[in-house]
Amino acid sequence: SLFSQYTDFIGDFNGDGYDDIFVAAPTFRQNDEEIGKLYVYSINKVNGIKEIKNNVINGFKLLPCFPNPFNNRTIIPFKLITSSEVQIAIYDICGRLIKTLFSGQKRAGMHKITWNGKTNAGKEAASGVYFVVLKHKNSNLNIYSQKIVLLK
């Protein structure tokens, strides 16, 4: 007898706008007939992640960095509706802090901060994907992040 298990994406099988997965498990051949079960799983949005349009919420907004991808520097623009204590930092893909660009009070208005691709230790960061994180210093709930790519 032949014993197998197979999993694959089948696209939007049920028309709900999300990709579906089928799992054939387990199957075996008996008298020229394949016996087993086929399961179809519908995948929805990941729970726990709230999609928010990048509007000015809670008094601040992170605008698109430019250039992105970048080589030697990128400019990080952001807007504050009121004077606020903010922190702007760079994290790697694993969530490790790479560079704190600013931590302190800023007046209301448009601001720009430049990252030169260096770490807190002054070393050149490796090529790769990083995240700019802007947050109100006294709250872990008010956070914006944006993906940037460093190319050397």
User: Which pTM does this prediction carry?
Assistant: 0.62
Look up the CATH architecture of domain 60-150. Sandwich (2.60)
Any idea where the domains of the chain sit in the sequence? 3-42, 60-150
pLDDT digit string (tens) for 127-145? 999 999 998 765 556 788 8
Contact 134, 143 (CB under 8 A): yes
pLDDT in tens, 17-74: 666 665 655 556 667 666 666 666 665 655 544 554 544 455 678 899 999 999 999 9
69-96 core/surface letters (b: 16 or more CB in 10 A; e: else): ebeeebebebebeeebebbbbbeeeeee
